[in-house]
A and B are shown apart, each in its own frame.
Chain A
Amino acid sequence: MNLSFTSPALLWGLVAAALPLVVHLFFRRRPRPTPFPAIDFILRARQENQRRLRLKRILLFVARTALLAAVALAVARPRLVAPEAKAAQGAVGPAAVAIVLDASASMGYRRFAGTLFDRAKADAIEVLTGLNSDEPATLVVCGGPSVPQAERPSFDKAELRRRIAAAELTHGHADLTSCVGAAVQALAESAAGQALRRKLFVATDMTAVSWRLDAAPPVVATPSGPVRPEVTLLDAARGERLENAWLSSVAAEPDPSVGPRGYRITATVNGQRRELEKDASLSLRVGDGKQERMAIRSFIEVPQAGSTKKTLAYDFPTGGPAVLSLSLPEDAYPEDDALALTLHVPREVKVLVVDGAPSPVRQRDAAFFVEAALSGNSSPVRPTVVDQDGLSKVRLSDYDVVFLLNVRSLGEKAPELVDFVERGGGLFLAMGDEVDPDRYELELRRILPAPLHVVKTADRSAARFAEVDWDHPALAVFSGPAREGLESVRTFRYMLLKPERKDASSRVLVRFEDGSPALVEARRGQGRVMLFTSTVDREWSDWSIRTSFLPAMQRIAAFLAGGLEERRDWPTPVFAPRILPAPEGIQVVSLLGPDGRERRVEATSGAASVTPDVPGLWQVKVRREGKEALDPTLAFAVWPDPRESDMRRLEPSELTAWFGGESHARVAGDRPAREGLDIPLWSWLLVVAVAAFLAEGLLVA
């Protein structure tokens, strides 16, 4: 460490430090002679505090001398400079310069009456301004998915300044290691720079996730061999810790206990801050655009470090595509304070229950059991019961699913039912004494999962369900002990089916112990059909009084209405490609981003691939039958890059060590680590002067 002075000529001021001595020696005041009677007391008083007075006089002399000397030294602006720092500064000769500007999402952190990106741009322009005319420069804007590229250093500083001013913050991640590599490559390719030193300036927030320090450090290939560049890190955060709280994920799971369209929404909140924040508000909003409204406002404890979860319950009032968003109070980095999610909430299922054998005794009426099972409070199913005569008066297209319970024949209604199914309707068939297999074969052959044969009475004991396809969406609700409710069903009579046709769209979901089908599913046209080979009253089976009956009926109705498919829209990370499904007759035209800008999509056959560049809710505009409109079923959520939320910063020493140590790299700005290399001493001297002044005052007093 060397001591140097900014204004060494002002050291002459140190002569002033001799003033107290001169005054003491030459300008002492002569004591006034005064006769006094009590001279004995004066003698004794002086004797008692003579040592203290002498010490006080010495201290006073030292304080006055120190006061003058410290002020005189401070005016000369002394500082301690390490030799290594001088080497890193490389004070001689022109240089080829590469500037790497970090444009990653985290640079949007608000600080110093703007963002860190604004400050980084100002730093970069300041570097350009400080260059001499014989020093070429190049710029790498680093952020997003694009591969970093750097042009050869040029002397056109105005163009570089314009590019820096026009640079925009991205919402993506920055791999500064790659960007620095590209910048160093450009310095190596610089023909003009062969005789010059190489300088690299990196304007960044120094977040650790932007660097891969396990990679090889950058070196400039020169004809005389590889050379490390002189690196200056322009810390946009000026050494400050960057605190952040963010939502890292939101998940929504159906929860029937909440309501017919109830969901359990779980938010994961992360924190990196000095102090734990209690009672931070967590808001759940549903809908989008003008329909958006606050649904739930809750509170959550944001941890100092790590994550915590909060689960909210919400029952959507209607089915169909839905948007929800969770948000924390906006902090310095607002990008990750809210996450959106798109859902397909099951619609209300309208079921027509046709009772083929109505009974005045309700316990003997199959429709009684089915209606009771379908119309629970938490059920999305709305059943309507008619008898066979009433069937002729209803329009099947008003319903989603038709339940035929022990119906002898459909008569004239049969063709309408077949058409209903093939157009996408659902049909559930239950057997009984009234069912005539021949008539069914005649009227419903096209949509039956399998031809009906004869009724079989179980031998000795009742038949039980043996082989069950537990993975089927309609039966997946039974897990663990709940399966017993299905396995314990006793069946006394059931309809045998004729040997199965080779039909890939038909499959047996449940079989009896003897292998006979109990529940068969088939796809017919766009619709679905399910056949139960026994009764849903207590005539042939006791399923209707088993615990499994209610959930099974609701799930079967939902399945037949097409509402049980796994239609989850997983959110897409920003800059990750997303495939947009293109249903038949629909063409994706454009995307409307959360920033309000519309992006046209290239007309392609089949699914379209897009790369969203802004986090938030994206709407999809489609052309259907020649008309363009937003399709809410195709809307999707884009989440910010989770890496950018991690604001942990690198220690400057780690980064400078990676670049080759303090002899090759330094951090510009007022950073504490920097003080170790170039320590201004004048402020400390002023502190000493003030302390000496106060001490002098105290001693005199």
Chain B
Amino acid sequence: MADQGKKLLDPAVLSRLATLKLRVRAVAEGVLTGLHRSPHRGQSVEFAEHKEYTPGDEIRHIDWKAYGKFDKYYVKRFEQETNLRAWLLVDASGSMGYRGAEGRLSKLEYASALAGTLAYVLVRQQDAAGLLVFAGGVAKAIAPRAEPSHVTAILETLEGIEPAGETRLASAIDFLVERAQRRSGVFVFSDLMDKEERVLKVVGELRKRRHEVTLFHVLDPAELEFPFEDPTMFLSMEDERKVEARGRDIKKGYLELVRRWLEETRRVASEADIDYVLARTDVPLDEVLVPFLARRERSAA
């Protein structure tokens, strides 16, 4: 059964599911299944007060120590945590539409599935989740709310976006800085193919305002491994540029540049105290999310 669920989380399998809702449901169930294995379950509720028992109350919440003292039935009441506000920033630029191979999710689809799953999980644990879709500028924005019906709105928005335009992460950050007055969690889903070379510095501004920032760096395996050999006309996905080159001639130089770029990105993220997660679109989503969520739970504890 567990194997079956695991198989369902494979991006190749997910790509065959027609709607984002189905994908998110599949992923969220897998993720939650994975989290239930965590030893920190139940840590998200805190004891508030006692109430005299009335029929209909949960018997398991009866405080037997109080009964021993007062010879009356009291029931424990808990105060649920609803104070986390999360913003999901999804990059919908042209470059996010890249799909390295047939049967694989595009980067945008992968980022949407990640963001949707995260929204589902957050709302399910009574946190508020909001969405910000950006490309050249801010395309769509949904304020954070903790209602379950709000997840549907987020998923419908994500499902409706098309990749287009240049990556301008800075405009989304500016928008967020204006709107998010409270301390919030910010989850960025982007390939960071930004014209702005110091884009992470801008993201670092959020950290300075005490927001918890997590960067999901979404990349296709073809971008990391460059499987091209023959003469190819490479076309830019965000503007009109094109380059003719023989894959095997430039492969070594390209891979070296990507390696240096990733190293630099990790280093800057680390310096800015940004949680960095590299998300390859051929890796099952739960393998990206479960370790991340578990890490968060540990740090919260």
Q: Which residues of A contact B (CB under 8 A)?
A: 29-46, 48-49, 53
Contact = CB atoms under 8 A, between A and B. Distances in A.
Contacts of A49: 249-250, 252-253
Interface of B: 94-96, 98, 107, 191, 193, 220, 222-223, 228, 230-238, 241-245, 249-250, 252-254, 256-258, 261
B232 A41 contact: no
Nearest to A52: B249
7 contacts: A34-B228, A36-B98, A37-B96, A42-B250, A44-B257, A45-B250, A49-B250
A586 B106 CA distance: 124
Given A32-B231, A42-B250, A45-B257, 14 more contacts: A30-B231, A34-B233, A34-B234, A35-B98, A35-B237, A36-B234, A36-B237, A42-B234, A42-B245, A42-B254, A43-B241, A44-B253, A48-B253, A49-B252
B254 A41 contact: yes
Q: Which of A29, A30, A33, A37 has the most CB of B within 10 A?
A: A37
B278 to A, nearest CB: 15
B44 to A, nearest CB: 38
Contact of B235 (A33, A44, A45, A46): A33
A510 B253 CA distance: 113
Contacts of A34: 228, 232-235
B191 A32 contact: no
Contacts of A48: 253
A82 to B, nearest CB: 49
- The B interface is mostly helix, strand or loop, or mixed, namely mixed
A48 B236 CA distance: 19
A342 B250 CA distance: 89
Contacts of A32: 230-233
A34 B253 CA distance: 19
Given A44-B257, A49-B250, A49-B253, A31 B232 contact: yes
A544 to B, nearest CB: 109
A53 B231 CA distance: 13
Contacts of B95: 37-38
Nearest to B251: A45
Contact of A31 (B233, B254, B258, B261): B233
Contacts of A35: 98, 234-237
Contacts of A38: 95, 193, 223, 254, 258
Given A31-B232, A49-B250, A39 B243 contact: yes
A36 B250 contact: no
Contacts of B231: 29-32
B243 A46 contact: yes
Nearest to A49: B253
Nearest to A39: B236
Nearest to B257: A41
B123 to A, nearest CB: 31
Contacts of B234: 34-36, 39, 42
A539 B291 CA distance: 133
Q: Which of B98, B237, B243, B258 has the most CB of A within 10 A?
A: B243
B243 A41 contact: no
B245 A46 contact: yes
A37 B258 CA distance: 12
Contacts of B191: 37
Task: List the 9 closest pairs (A to B, CB-CB), nearest first.
Answer: A45-B253, A37-B95, A31-B231, A45-B254, A31-B233, A45-B250, A33-B233, A39-B236, A36-B234
B46 to A, nearest CB: 46
Nearest to A28: B231
Nearest to A40: B193
A37 B223 CA distance: 8
Nearest to B99: A35
A163 to B, nearest CB: 73
Nearest to B93: A37
Contact of B243 (A30, A37, A42, A53): A42
A679 to B, nearest CB: 42
Nearest to B254: A45
Contacts of A37: 94-96, 98, 107, 191, 193, 220, 223, 237-238
A43 B230 CA distance: 16
A240 to B, nearest CB: 52
Q: Which of A29, A32, A42 has the most CB of B within 10 A?
A: A42
Q: Which of A29, A41, A44 has the most CB of B within 10 A?
A: A41
A44 B96 CA distance: 21
Contacts of B107: 37
Contacts of B250: 42, 45-46, 49
Nearest to A44: B257
B281 to A, nearest CB: 12
A46 B251 CA distance: 9
B280 to A, nearest CB: 14
Contacts of A53: 249
A696 to B, nearest CB: 15
Contacts of A44: 253, 257
A568 to B, nearest CB: 89
B102 to A, nearest CB: 14
B257 to A, nearest CB: 5
B104 to A, nearest CB: 14
A350 B91 CA distance: 132
B235 A29 contact: no
A35 B228 CA distance: 12
A33 B230 CA distance: 11
A47 to B, nearest CB: 9
Nearest to A32: B232
Nearest to A34: B232
Contacts of B243: 39, 42-43, 46
A35 B239 CA distance: 11
A41 B258 contact: yes
A45 B250 CA distance: 6
B112 to A, nearest CB: 17
Contacts of A29: 230-231
A39 B242 CA distance: 8
Contacts of A41: 254, 257-258, 261
Contacts of B222: 36
Contacts of A42: 234, 243, 245, 250, 254
Contacts of A36: 98, 222-223, 234-237
Nearest to A56: B249
Contacts of B98: 35-37
Contacts of A30: 231
A22 to B, nearest CB: 18
Contacts of B258: 38, 41
A113 B178 CA distance: 102
A39 B167 CA distance: 14
A391 B239 CA distance: 145
Contacts of B230: 29, 31-32
A41 B253 CA distance: 9
A32 B233 CA distance: 6
A42 B236 CA distance: 10
Contacts of A31: 230-233, 244
Nearest to B258: A41
A35 B96 CA distance: 12
Contacts of B253: 44-46, 48-49
Contacts of A43: 241, 243
B229 to A, nearest CB: 11
A694 B268 CA distance: 47
A36 B193 CA distance: 11
Contacts of B193: 37-38, 40
Nearest to B239: A39
A242 B216 CA distance: 83
B212 to A, nearest CB: 28
A34 B222 CA distance: 12
A48 B232 CA distance: 18
B247 to A, nearest CB: 10
Nearest to A57: B249
A53 B230 CA distance: 15
Nearest to B95: A37
Q: Which of A38, A48, A49 has the most CB of B within 10 A?
A: A38
